[in-house]
Amino acid sequence: MQEQELSVKMDKAIENLKKNFSGIRTGRANPGLVENVLVEVYGQKMPLKTIAGINIPESKVISITPYDRSSVQAIEKAIAQSELGLTPRSEGAVIYLRLPELTEERRRELEKIAKSAAEDGRVAIRNLRRDFLDDAKKSGAAQDELKGLQDRAQKITDQHNARIDELLKHKEAEIREI
């Protein structure tokens, strides 16, 4: 594995963290909140984003328009059973989710969840660095070369960890926003 490859893999870990962050509820509506809710339709579980259009008509409202009207009840059931704590309300073929105000206690819980997701991202990056250095050692690189690789890998790791810290700071600010 080369340094560019290491950086690309770490970028993917950051993208995964962003995806995880999008599923953490904040004070405002966000399609990422519901797009990966699994809905049982056509005899299999499918992510909501593949069977319905998700829109944000207001800052605290998510509207879901199923591509197939017969799946409205299945979508309502999946959302009600999810851990989002939202109650779906359907008007014809459109399902509305109104996001209630977050309590201070719930905001603290969400911040803990965000910090945990960020730490998972840091662990993934450290593991990638470790694998990179293990591969370099196995390839029989000289000590001087290993030291240089180690320094460059640490620099790449530090850059990605700084991005994680920045994303976490932004997410925490979003959660605290009223």
Q: What is the pTM of this model?
A: 0.73
CB 39 within 8 A of CB 67: no
Give the mean model confidence (pLDDT) for residues 2-7.
89
pLDDT computed for residue 115 by the predictor: 95
Q: Would you state the pLDDT for residue 30?
A: 82
For the sheet containing 94-98, what is the strand order?
52-58, 61-66, 94-98, 88-91
CA 62 → CA 31, 100, 168, distances in Å? 7, 12, 24
What is the structure's pLDDT at 165? 96
Distance of CA 36 to the CA centre of its chain: 10
CATH architecture of 3-22+103-176: Orthogonal Bundle (1.10)
> Does position 7 have pLDDT exceeding 80, yes or no?
yes
Average pLDDT, integer, range 128-154: 89
pLDDT interval class at 178 (50, 70, 90): low
Which residues are bridge partners to 66 per DSSP? 52
Same fold, 3-22+103-176 and 31-98: no
- How far is the C-alpha of 127 from the C-alpha of 111, rounded, in Å? 24
List of residues 6+ apart from 94 with CB closer than 8 A: 63, 64, 65
User: How much is the pLDDT for 143?
Assistant: 86
CATH of region 31-98: 3.30.1360.40
Whole-number pLDDT of residue 28 = 77
Which tokens sit at 57?
């008509």
- Locate the domains of the chain by residue range: 3-22+103-176, 31-98
pLDDT top residue among 83 and 130: 130
The string of pLDDT tens digits covering residues 52-91 is 999 999 888 999 999 998 899 999 999 988 877 788 998 9
Spatial contact of 60 and 98, defined as CB atoms under 8 Å apart: yes
Label residue 105 exposed, middle or buried (CB < 10 Å: 0-12, 13-18, 19+): exposed
